[in-house]
Amino acid sequence: MLRSASSFLCLVLAVLAVGCSNAPTPPPPDTRAADVQAIKDVEAAWVKDANSKDADKWASYFTEDGSGLYPGAATLNGKAAIKAAMVPYMSDPNFSLTFQSTRAMASKSGDMVYSQGTYTMTITDPKTKKPMTDHGKYLTVYTKQADGSWKAVADTFNSDSPM
């Protein structure tokens, strides 16, 4: 009888221990508004750096395996490919770029944000050798890095001009 009571007591204690250890964990804090603001700050710095005409600075906004999906070109994978593609633009004396998000959404998990917006870019027309300005829209997907910074993992844009 004592053995049955001891076994029963051990079973009750085991059930209580398991029940207590499965206490619900509180949800993580909602950082979506702060994450969207962080991306707006990143994009403001990116515009400034783009107009410094430094392809290294441009590429620094991407993850190592980031992709550029730009019109008239194959997908650019990795910082080196993105940088190389930007060198001719940034060597153009007429190059200028502005962009600003019109919509951004952060994941509830706090590790991803997408931003869409509009851009204005001026480059030298290869035919006329005169400055030409293009207006369009973009979409960029950012991921939070281990150090808390945000980097673009995918970036694309297209012109509002007819093809």
* End-to-end alpha carbon distance in the chain: 90
pLDDT at position 79 over 70:
yes
Asked if residues 120 and 110 have their Cβ atoms less than 8 Å apart, the reply is no
Domain boundaries, the chain: 31-159
The domain defined by 31-159 carries CATH number 3.10.450.50: yes
- Is this model's pTM higher than 0.85 or not? no
* Mean pLDDT calculated for residue range 146-158: 97
Q: How far apart are CA 149 and CA 142, in angstroms?
A: 10
Residue 77 CA to residue 153 CA, distance in Å, equals 10
